[in-house]
Chains A and B, each alone.
Chain A
Amino acid sequence: MSDIETSEPAPTRMNLLARLSLWLLLFSGVLFVLLGLSWLFLVPRFTWFSAEDTKMSPREMATYEQRLLADLRNMEQTRTRLVLPVSHKGYMLLKEEKRAAPSMETVRAELTKAAARTSRGETILFQEIHLDLPARRVTVRGDVRSAGLSSMTVLAAFVEEVENLSFVSDLERPTFVREQSPDTGPHSPFAFSFSVSSSRR
């Protein structure tokens, strides 16, 4: 008996692809169409918002919110302008400038506090405080007394304390000297200056 030969040859890879290609096209086509329909009809329905009787995408919504916030700021400015009795621009600027200027009272109070924090029974005297507002610079002249031989150490600690004050910058350190006086004994006269930002409380 001879062997029975099959009429169809075994499917090759190319054959298999040819048979699958139509199904693949069908599947990808349906998927694409469904996704397309979802993008056109479902996504706007579930991710878009309605405001001002119009539909907005999330990005448009954020832009709309920013526009409303800008309108709010404008309205706030208008309200402030309306409740104020004077609208002279130069006057407003002068007031703001005066308000922002360093205050002599605060400078003196803070220097006195710094001296109190530094000294332990010694005396830090302020003989002269000069505030130049256009230059925003303070010059301090004084003397450390009753500190015996450690007057220069007390002065150094005081200068460091002043340098750490929040409104002080660009401090020009004093010359550290100890002098002998028949009245006060050893003492350290000093003079230093610093720049000052707004020191108002």
Chain B
Amino acid sequence: MIRPFSSGGLKSGALIALSLALLGGSAALIEAHTIAVRQMKEIGLPAALRLPQIEERADILREQNEAAELQALLRGSTEEELLRLKVLPKESDTGRLLQEFDVLVSYLQSRKFLSSFSPVTVGDPAAVDLPGSEEPIRAYPLTFGAQMTEEGLETFLLFVDLSGLLTVSDALSSADIERLLLLTERENPAAVTALEYFLSTDLLRYAAEPKPYEEQLLKSFSSPAFEEGFRTILSETRIGDARRLLADLHQIMKAQELWPLRFLSLRTIRVERRVDGTLWVQCVIDALSRGA
């Protein structure tokens, strides 16, 4: 018979306590097993299934980056120099700016889109608030008015929109470029250099004769999927409008060495409808420069 506090009773009590502790430990281990299996099913397995695709894509991107880097080295920095010299010059360069306007006004007049153009006033420069820019940017405000037709206004706004663009890539949004890169990656990753060449094509030269540049790019892809996607992307951008206007201005821009155009940005625009149906457009446009 066991009596409380006897040595036999104490021994049994200790054994039971130890057993209970081990059972508790076992329960914890069963719970840990369940969690491990659940995590394997819910987290590990889906990740493991996605991993080969990610690794494959990483390999493709690594190869594309190596090829693109080599091509970038061969390309040089002509565009960067043009940007500093003409698109965002260090000085006001008002003479060249007014020459650009002259070309536009002559073009609009030749099309009978514009009937009168007021004198242009160039104001004092002001610093542009551009967080993230490594160089300060300043703006010279240009104020003027013009009497024009609906088509004239459309062309004028397109001109301002296209000003400052250098290459085909500048006429595309970053999302469009990403889409083109994804298409390349899917259809022929090695053709990234062909795409790089296409994107670096001078916009004016492309506008004058787009076919050779497009064909050269399309030659790198055997499936029609790329061409289809490429055409869709281009049709959704303003590249068609750019082609239409720059194809007309191509000769004169080249002759007067006005390309690339100075970066212009619309500040305010007032459109008044006249009794005769024409529009009186009064606007302030910022011509941008580098430097404080």
By a beta-carbon cutoff of 8 Å, the part of chain A in contact with chain B is 9, 12, 14-15, 17-18, 21-22, 24-25, 27-29, 31-32, 35-36, 38-39, 43, 46-49, 51, 56-59, 61-62, 64-65, 68-69, 71-72, 75-76, 78-80, 82-91, 93-99, 101, 103-105, 108, 125-134
Contacts and interface: CB of A to CB of B under 8 A. Distances in A.
17 contacts: A32-B25, A39-B29, A56-B44, A58-B47, A61-B43, A62-B43, A75-B58, A82-B65, A83-B177, A90-B134, A93-B130, A93-B132, A94-B265, A125-B273, A128-B271, A130-B271, A133-B268
Contact of A24 (B19, B87, B273): B19
Contacts of B290: 90
Given A64-B47, A65-B50, A68-B58, 16 more contacts: A14-B1, A18-B12, A21-B12, A47-B36, A48-B44, A49-B47, A61-B43, A84-B177, A86-B170, A93-B130, A94-B164, A99-B173, A103-B157, A104-B153, A105-B154, A134-B268
A130 B273 CA distance: 12
B157 to A, nearest CB: 6
B43 A59 contact: yes
A95 B263 CA distance: 9
Interface size class of B (residues with CB under 8 A): 35 or more
B102 interface: no
B55 interface: yes
B61 interface: yes
Residue among B23, B26, B62, B157 facing the most chain A CB atoms (10 A cut-off): B26
Contacts of B267: 132-134
Contact of B273 (A15, A22, A88, A128): A128
Nearest to A11: B1
Nearest to A83: B196
A73 to B, nearest CB: 10
B214 interface: no
Closest 10 CB pairs of A and B: A58-B44, A90-B133, A28-B22, A47-B40, A82-B68, A21-B15, A35-B29, A58-B39, A75-B61, A85-B200
| Interface SS, A side | helix
A105 B23 CA distance: 77
B97 to A, nearest CB: 16
Contacts of B200: 85
B187 interface: no
